[in-house]
Amino acid sequence: MRKRTKAREIALQFLYQQDIRNDDWSNNIFDFEPLKDVEDDIASFANSLMKGALENISTLDDIISKSAQNWQLKRMATVDRNILRMAAYELIYESEVPAKVSINEAINLAKKYGDEESGKFVNGILDKIKRDIDAGQIKAKS
């Protein structure tokens, strides 16, 4: 497994856990067991995704909600919602990662951890976010 793929899986696990627990994530990030036995570059990228998604969660949730026509964020499967948060963070804030890579990685995570329709669902929403970024309706940060 590629290093960034592994980092995304770890980040997804943490985001999922925090979504369920709904507690202070800043304390939990240091004790997150999957981060303890990985290479530094994997841990660094995972930390970047986890912190970035959680620090910008309100903005990301707003963007996802607007892009997910006829879907309320709270009604989405927890795993799908957190894949979308992480991938939207990458698309908007991690400019060194090509959008195509972020979207493909998110789709693969959705296929692996979601239900049989998760890949299509995640693809549709992320494609809309990407189009809105390209059209200047969402401002990518660097």
Asked whether residue 141 is domain-assigned, the answer is no
Asked whether residue 24 is domain-assigned, the answer is yes
Asked whether residue 15 is domain-assigned, the answer is yes
Q: Name the residue among 50, 49, 52, 80 with its Cα closest to residue 64.
A: 80
CATH of the domain at 77: 1.10.940.10
Going residue by residue through the chain, which has 142 residues, state the pLDDT in tens, using 9 for 90 and above: 799 999 999 999 999 999 998 877 776 777 888 888 899 999 999 999 999 999 999 999 999 999 998 889 999 999 999 999 999 999 999 988 999 999 999 999 999 999 999 999 999 999 999 999 999 999 877 6
Give the global pTM: 0.94
Asked whether residue 95 is domain-assigned, the answer is yes
Count of structural domains within the chain: 1
Asked whether residue 142 is domain-assigned, the answer is no
**HEC profile of the chain:** CCHHHHHHHHHHHHHHHHHHHCCCHHHHHHHCHHHCCCCHHHHHHHHHHHHHHHHCHHHHHHHHHHHCCCCCHHHCCHHHHHHHHHHHHHHHHCCCCCHHHHHHHHHHHHHHHCCCCHHHHHHHHHHHHHHHHHCCCCCCCC
Residue span of the structural domain in which 42 resides: 3-134
Asked whether residue 139 is domain-assigned, the answer is no
